[in-house]
Structure 1
Amino acid sequence: MLSLQLLYENKTQFKCQLDDSKIDKNLPSLVRVYVSNLEKNKTSVILDEISSILPCSRVVGCSTSGVMFHGKQYNDKNLIVIEQFNDTKLVSGIIDYRNKTAKQVVQELKEQLNNQTVKAMHFFCGAQWVDIAECIDVFNEELPNIRLTGGIAGGDLSDGDIPFVFESSQIIDTAIVYAGYSNDKLNIFSDANISHEPISGVYSIDEVDGCYLKKIEDVNATDWCFEQFGIEKLEEYHDWQQIAENDELAKFPLILEGHHGVSRFLHYDAQNDLLSLYQMKLPANTKFRVGYVSPTRCVKECHEICLRISKQPVENLFCYSCVFRRLYLENCAEWELKPFENANICGAFMLGEIGWNFDCNELFNGTCVYFGIADREHYIYPDFSVFNDLYRVHTDDDKLVNFVLKKQSLAMTKENQKLLDKLLVQQEKSKQQLYLDSITGLGNTLKYTNDKKEINFDKMCLVQIENFDLLVSRLGQEKYHDLLRIAAKKIKEFLIAVEANDQIKYYILNDSTLFLAGGSLVPKETFIRHVDLMYENFQTIRFEDIKELLINRFIIVNSEKGLLESGILALKECQSLQTHYVDYSQIEFKSKESLEDEENILNVLNYAILSDTIIPYFQGIYDNEHQCINKYEALMRIEDVDGKIYLPYQFMEIAKKYHLYSRLSKRMIEKVFDLFEGSSFEISINLSVYDISYQSVSSYIIDKLSRMKNCNNFVFEILEDESFKDMEILKKFLTDVRKFGVKIAIDDFGIGYSNFMAIAQMAPDYIKIDGSIVRNIMKDDLCKKVLENIVFLGKQLEVKVIAEFVEDNSIQDEVLKHNIQYSQGYYFSTPTPYSSLNLS
């Protein structure tokens, strides 16, 4: 997947930025255009300019009330997002909804899709269609497997223009426009930060007329507002900023019952003296609660989204947010973007947002919807440090309380007093919940961060649930959470009963790890006694009437600085230790310098992936019979920002540790295929267990081979020292690639514990003797005997043998004595870039 985001200025600037990117202008791509406060004729010019430069693209978009680009907000810019895929088919279309029911619109969309399997879809609606909410409900019934994202087109209320949508050059304000991704292997992330808290009992909308609300609780809707909010006079505003600053109704959304926090905002129509909703309607008998927009809830939900998004692949992160949200949340609007600044988050402000919420698509109002997509293993790591300054969100709560107090002074009623009381209670509850884990009720890492300002924590014990993955896979997330909740309660009650201490606090790190933190006033002996008691009683946790149990590992950490960070590092470092009780401070692990080296290599890896500085080098393989180099092995190298070249031994272990290996390998394979397709020279490509087991890589290989006219010059070298958990996967892969004429070699043969039967079943074309054996055959009789046996095995299996690490003439003479067919090593050839091979 390739992508480019930019703020459109003119055709020349657009073309220059495209030329500097890797986007191929002649291949299909999806271009999403978000225009801010722009007229239709000017939008048409931009669309024509884009289409002239990207003639094969699908162009869709809408007008907006502003855009976000790389974490910053703009009221008068136009955002362009270009996406180009290898294996994903793109679908798009436009449907005029005039004189059609919601069901008819969805049916027409289904017909346009023509049974194509679409996984996710951007979905934009002209601002005049009040049946959009019903349309989303019908969509969920008819197309339940497609995740929607998008919303109602936005614009500036004061200029009188009607918000519009468009596909290619067709611009219309009475239509639905969509663009979908057809690829089952795509990773889709979708989430919503709603941030609305209920503060009232349940009310009912009794009578409606289109968008207008006529009666609530059998009372005229406007009169109900006077009573509920203490509003002396309702006024209509025609500017978003005025609405945010002055419209009392915008402070209190209606939270719909049964929709997990989804809300609607009220609008006063002065001409008709009626209440309505913005750009949508609700049916009679709709149940709701009065709510308010809670800044602390906003931060809590943002923190939870950060945790979820870091666990799944995302290449591009986009958000559809509400224009209300930008205006009335003030400094909290920044919190939704700040953790993702490193990911260059972009987005658009809509009049209503569409996204995924609790297993179905929803039409939101006043919400920020996140949408991420990836066709490879790329992860976004949010910046959690932004959550340290939580005091910044309090001012918004204070403003809301002051607003209600002001209104009460104008019209005090019992209902109004209840509203204020519940508002104050709910605000305090929200602030408390911000620091609590919703499953266990224990303090979370935000609570720990807040507590350490008062308590100087210098010791910690992490309790890691060893069989977490097994339990979740067997029981499911919900039942596992039930066990975790019970376990946390047992531990907490036990320790409080044994020895209460205000300087020892209990927290939860994640679903698999709890931790205790002790202050500096607590003697280490006392803290260790706490831990010993826990270990004695909770090394395993059993449950009444439940066969499952939790198996726990206890890791003690001492550190005056970066205590939690040291604890997280200890979890990783102690994985291989065969004990359930570890004092990390008494074990020699990686030095600070080695950790810094690891971080530096990780930075180099990320640079190489993002900048595409993964470089194939090639080493010649000498044909001992024909006395020439007629084969090559491809060897991976990466280059850093300064042009320094790194060898696999410097980065491969870290690449696998941080799940970057498959991305390196796939790009390496792509480049070798492109360089040697149709070549007369045989080329070997190394494949590991990761490559063959990882579907994205193996599927790419099969697809690429199927597109080539001749694949006979390619050899896949399987690393013999990496055992396969599922031999059937390997056998199937070998069967599939051999259909295209590809040869198979066993690499590094002779080290590890060779399974000769497995090797025989693989029926390789080549066996490569590991270099550690070859380089020592002149001075180690055991190595010579091993070499002789491998050569004998090759003859028995009718497999050609390649000797690696042939570094001088004496080793080559010994290789020739044993009639080994091929030699590889510095004596004949050093690894070199393709440009230095001078292949004809």
Structure 2
Amino acid sequence: MIHQGSIHKNATLLVFTHFKNVSLSSAVVNYTDHLLADSSNFAQKLNLQSNSKAIICFASRMEFARQERITQFSQFSPVPIFGGASSRTDGGRWVLLGNEFFENAIVGVAFHSDTLHLTSECYTEWNPIGRQLTVTKATGRNLQSLDGESVHTVYDRYLGDSKSVPLELLQHFPLIKGESKKQDVYLPLSLSENGILLNRELKVGDKVRFCFDHPSLTLGQVQLGAERLQKFQPDQIFVYNCLSRLEFMHGNTELIPLQEVANCYGCYCAGELIRTGEHQQMLHHSLTFLALREGEAQTSAETPAEESQGHNVIAPLFSLIRNALADVDRMNRNLEKKIQTQASLLTASYRVDKRTGLPNREVLHERLALMGNNDHLITLKLTNFSLINEKYGYQVGDKLLQDLSDHFQQYMNKMLAGRSNLYAIGVGEWACVFRSDFDSEYIHQQFSMFVEQLENFNFEPYGLPEVDYLSVSLCAGFISRRDFPNLGKDELLLRSIEARRFAQNQNRHFYCASDLRTRDQVRQEQLSWLSCVSRAVLGKNVQVFAQPIVKAKTHELSSYECLVRIEDNGEIILPGRFLPIVEGTHLYSRLSRQMISRTFELMHSRSESFSINLSPQDFMSDKTLRHLEDAIQKLADPTRVGLEVLETEQIKDYGHMIEVCNHFRSLGASIIVDDFGCGYSNIDEIVKLEPQIIKLDGSLIRNIDKDVKQRKIAQQLVRLCQVLDAKTVAEFVHNEEVCRISEDMGIDYLQGFYLGQPSRLT
């Protein structure tokens, strides 16, 4: 954080700015896959006007490939954007607006005023290095060759003395085209066998150079900029600086010139936003500022510039060149040392978990590839770690991870000396690969004893002397290579983790992957049904079947209940086979919306009333509700529509349900409660939905001709519905006797195979 030109770490910065004649508007936009739509949506939500002067914006997860949300903003508004992209923290990447945190979103505040003046500047020095290189082969963003040579060969020769250079180091030396001030920089994103994927497209014939940026090169420019800024007379300066500059700058050296002009506040970002000329940009390794002044600047007498006297500049010029070359040599030597240091640090961090110091998942994968028949894998998880963090704080949690790692290591050294390796594979997650001739049952017994000892051990909270006891809860999954001789390393780890998750769900300490084989068959069957439904949705093979609902006594048609089916390879599949598997997934929502579209399409030209089934998941999906609302509003007579509320016992937010039901009732639709009397029904909450129709569950109706108790229960429910002024429907009317008894009870409508089976709606 930057507070009055000083840098503060591990702190929260609040800046209160008082404006006399400025109005503000704010907005948040959650990311979608449509970058330009996000940018347009952001502009619209900010309600930009002719007197809008600037936007201060913060964005999370603004990768190179996704920065069009910012860089293309000029298509929708000329108002400049300043600010930055959030950096990674232990708590993730997030931005804040009001009192709410957002991930994968962009937030901003716009300034609207006729008297607000601003100026801005950015300082970055992408310095071309070496000769020009010509692009000789490129496909889109995939650069394949420079000067007729493989781009890998060129990079390795210049940066690694013909040795292979990792991507992390390539990204410090992007390519630059044209003038460096235009920031026309092309950053390597990933490597492939035949090229390097860049963040932007290069064309054959383009001239490029390697370039490098060192923030300290901009110090002189900042001083000159501060002198120019003095004439602007700003009231306040907002600074958005790059995190990388903290590695090169000593203290607040580059902020002092700006602070001497006006108070500076701001932060360090992972990408800096600024508008230069007609272009909105996201810079890197840059210092940017936005200076604001309300009202006109005060006039003051300017000091006349001193007249320069002519001097012979040839000798100083050559001296400058000689010293510049010496500086380049020194910079190259220093840069080489820095690269070696960074490479060593990167290699170490790539293979070591920073919290525990243990080898990480990458090293585990190497070991799993070498597993023999007598090798085993255990994955462990500290199941109450999040609770410990919430109660005692992250410092205590990190110390606990270190203590547990030490306990695990000591136990392995004692029981399996020289035959085991311990790895940290996640926060509060470990894996141990060991060699043993014992069977799974014996290993289970030994591990359970060890876990029981650990769970009764007091891990004294670090730094909290007033808390005298801290316990842990662990669970583990186990897999033996001899049980799965043909599995690859990734599948071995996955099976062990699945066994651990099953143990946690079953409140056990330990579970063996070999005991989950029967669950694999169930999982495969579920995946098969998911694929089947996905094919039906993508191929628009969702079919609508309609079952008649008739009036009691006369048996005249009253309406149709529209029922979902899917067609796969010519077979019509009933919902009982696939709905339980897709419920709760995004696929269910897509299926539901296609069912709505197909039903209204088929019923649009007909005159009969009809109803569709909606689950609690549908009522919680804004996209599904908007889709349904659009379909209803296109009907000439919306009163034909009935919305059947399913699974009322699973409704969590009745307040929201009541609002939704009232809204659709206002559009003309009828609200129908389905399966009334089945399982646990919160009658008080259902009454608040004010349904016009209540359908008695078929489990009560189907046996009323044989079961006197069920008949009495059904009779009481009918009376209750009459008190609620709701019409009743009896489902599962499957024979004449059930039909007659239902009518004698006073039920208004009947539905069932006796009166009509579901048939395809055409």
TM-score of the superposed pair, with normalisation by structure 1: 0.54
- Taking structure 1 as reference, are residues 633 and 681 closer, same or farther at Cα in structure 2, changes over 3 Å only? same
- Taking structure 1 as reference, are residues 828 and 789 closer, same or farther at Cα in structure 2, changes over 3 Å only? same
Q: Structure 2 matches for 1:11-160, cutoff 5 A?
A: 122=68, 139-141=81-83
1:527 is displaced (CA, Å) by 6.7
Alignment check: 8 A CA contact 1:718 1:747 kept:
yes
The amino acid that maps onto 2:594 is R
Q: What does residue 240 of structure 2 align with?
A: none
Matched, 1:616 2:529: no
Q: What does residue 633 of structure 1 align with?
A: 561
Matched, 1:603 2:531: yes
1:709 is displaced (CA, Å) by 5.4
Matched residues in 2 for 1:465 and 1:698: separation?
Answer: 40
Q: What does residue 745 of structure 1 align with?
A: 672
Matched residues in 2 for 1:212 and 1:773: separation?
Answer: 77
Matched residues in 2 for 1:82 and 1:585: separation?
Answer: 42
1:467 is displaced (CA, Å) by 5.4
Q: What does residue 486 of structure 1 align with?
A: 399
Matched residues in 1 for 2:51 and 2:598: separation?
Answer: 40
2:146 to 231, 242, 253: 242
- Taking structure 1 as reference, are residues 486 and 834 closer, same or farther at Cα in structure 2, changes over 3 Å only? farther
Alignment check: 8 A CA contact 1:557 1:563 kept:
no
1:600 is displaced (CA, Å) by 0.9
- Taking structure 1 as reference, are residues 595 and 821 closer, same or farther at Cα in structure 2, changes over 3 Å only? same
Matched residues in 1 for 2:201 and 2:134: separation?
Answer: 21
1:679 is displaced (CA, Å) by 4.8
Matched residues in 2 for 1:550 and 1:137: separation?
Answer: 56
Q: What does residue 280 of structure 1 align with?
A: 183
Q: What does residue 704 of structure 2 align with?
A: 777
Q: Structure 2 matches for 1:331-730, cutoff 5 A?
A: 331=193, 358=270, 363=282, 420=336, 423-424=339-340, 426-437=342-353, 441-456=357-372, 459-466=376-383, 485-500=398-413, 501=416, 502-511=418-427, 513-520=429-436, 524=440, 525=442, 528-530=445-447, 532-538=449-455, 543-545=461-463, 552-560=473-481, 561=484, 562-571=491-500, 573-574=502-503, 576-577=505-506, 579-584=507-512, 590-640=518-568, 642-656=569-583, 658-677=585-604, 679-702=606-629, 704-705=631-632, 710-730=637-657
Matched residues in 1 for 2:43 and 2:597: separation?
Answer: 29
Q: Secondary structure at the match of 2:362?
A: helix
Matched residues in 2 for 1:537 and 1:781: separation?
Answer: 58
Q: Secondary structure at the match of 2:131?
A: coil
- Taking structure 1 as reference, are residues 280 and 760 closer, same or farther at Cα in structure 2, changes over 3 Å only? closer
The amino acid that maps onto 1:570 is A
The amino acid that maps onto 1:277 is S
Matched residues in 2 for 1:568 and 1:673: separation?
Answer: 45
Matched residues in 1 for 2:606 and 2:54: separation?
Answer: 44
The amino acid that maps onto 2:188 is R
Q: Structure 2 matches for 1:247-262, cutoff 5 A?
A: 251=159
The amino acid that maps onto 1:622 is V
Q: Deviations over 1:495-536 (max 9, x none)?
A: 223341454444455556444444455765457534532343
Q: What does residue 177 of structure 1 align with?
A: none
Matched residues in 2 for 1:420 and 1:799: separation?
Answer: 82
Matched residues in 2 for 1:429 and 1:567: separation?
Answer: 31
- Taking structure 1 as reference, are residues 508 and 107 closer, same or farther at Cα in structure 2, changes over 3 Å only? farther
1:537 is displaced (CA, Å) by 1.8
Q: Deviations over 1:253-284 (max 9, x none)?
A: xxxxxxx9985647699xxxxxx638428xxx
The amino acid that maps onto 2:81 is F
Matched residues in 2 for 1:702 and 1:591: separation?
Answer: 41
Q: Secondary structure at the match of 2:610?
A: strand
Counting aligned pairs with the same residue, the percent is: 20
1:331 is displaced (CA, Å) by 2.6
1:802 is displaced (CA, Å) by 1.0
Q: What does residue 738 of structure 2 align with?
A: 811
Q: What does residue 394 of structure 1 align with?
A: none
The amino acid that maps onto 2:662 is T
Matched residues in 1 for 2:572 and 2:385: separation?
Answer: 40
Q: Secondary structure at the match of 1:631?
A: strand
- Taking structure 1 as reference, are residues 441 and 698 closer, same or farther at Cα in structure 2, changes over 3 Å only? farther
Matched, 1:325 2:188: yes
Cα RMSD, aligned residues only: 5.3
TM-score of the superposed pair, with normalisation by structure 2: 0.58
- Taking structure 1 as reference, are residues 330 and 691 closer, same or farther at Cα in structure 2, changes over 3 Å only? closer
Matched residues in 2 for 1:450 and 1:736: separation?
Answer: 58
Matched residues in 2 for 1:88 and 1:614: separation?
Answer: 35
Q: Deviations over 1:371-414 (max 9, x none)?
A: xxxxxxxxxxxxxxxxxxxxxxxxxxxxxxxxxxxxxxxx9988
The amino acid that maps onto 1:534 is V
Matched, 1:829 2:759: no
The amino acid that maps onto 1:280 is Q
List gaps (5 residues or longer) in structure 1.
1-80, 94-105, 127-131, 146-183, 191-207, 214-221, 226-233, 253-259, 270-275, 282-321, 338-345, 367-410, 836-840
1:798 is displaced (CA, Å) by 2.1
Q: Deviations over 1:562-618 (max 9, x none)?
A: 4322233335545652x2424346967844432221121122233233333333322
1:239 is displaced (CA, Å) by 3.2
The amino acid that maps onto 2:399 is I
- Taking structure 1 as reference, are residues 608 and 786 closer, same or farther at Cα in structure 2, changes over 3 Å only? same
Matched residues in 2 for 1:659 and 1:440: separation?
Answer: 37
Alignment check: 8 A CA contact 2:174 2:187 kept:
no
Alignment check: 8 A CA contact 1:445 1:508 kept:
yes
The amino acid that maps onto 2:454 is N
1:493 is displaced (CA, Å) by 0.8
Matched residues in 1 for 2:51 and 2:538: separation?
Answer: 37
1:554 is displaced (CA, Å) by 0.8
Matched residues in 1 for 2:80 and 2:156: separation?
Answer: 33
The amino acid that maps onto 2:567 is E
- Taking structure 1 as reference, are residues 646 and 455 closer, same or farther at Cα in structure 2, changes over 3 Å only? same
The amino acid that maps onto 2:365 is T
Q: Secondary structure at the match of 2:81?
A: helix
Matched residues in 1 for 2:334 and 2:369: separation?
Answer: 36
Q: Secondary structure at the match of 2:650?
A: coil
The amino acid that maps onto 1:780 is D
Matched residues in 1 for 2:393 and 2:449: separation?
Answer: 26
Q: Deviations over 1:748-767 (max 9, x none)?
A: 11111222222222221111
Q: Secondary structure at the match of 1:826?
A: coil
Matched residues in 1 for 2:471 and 2:448: separation?
Answer: 17
Matched residues in 1 for 2:641 and 2:501: separation?
Answer: 39
Matched residues in 2 for 1:539 and 1:780: separation?
Answer: 55
- Taking structure 1 as reference, are residues 789 and 704 closer, same or farther at Cα in structure 2, changes over 3 Å only? same
Matched residues in 2 for 1:432 and 1:459: separation?
Answer: 27
1:464 is displaced (CA, Å) by 4.0
1:631 is displaced (CA, Å) by 1.0
Alignment check: 8 A CA contact 1:235 1:268 kept:
no
After superposing the two structures, state which structure 1 stretch, 795-804 or 781-790, moved more.
781-790
Matched residues in 1 for 2:651 and 2:123: separation?
Answer: 66
1:480 is displaced (CA, Å) by 7.3
Q: Secondary structure at the match of 1:722?
A: helix
Matched residues in 1 for 2:54 and 2:749: separation?
Answer: 58
Q: What does residue 308 of structure 1 align with?
A: none
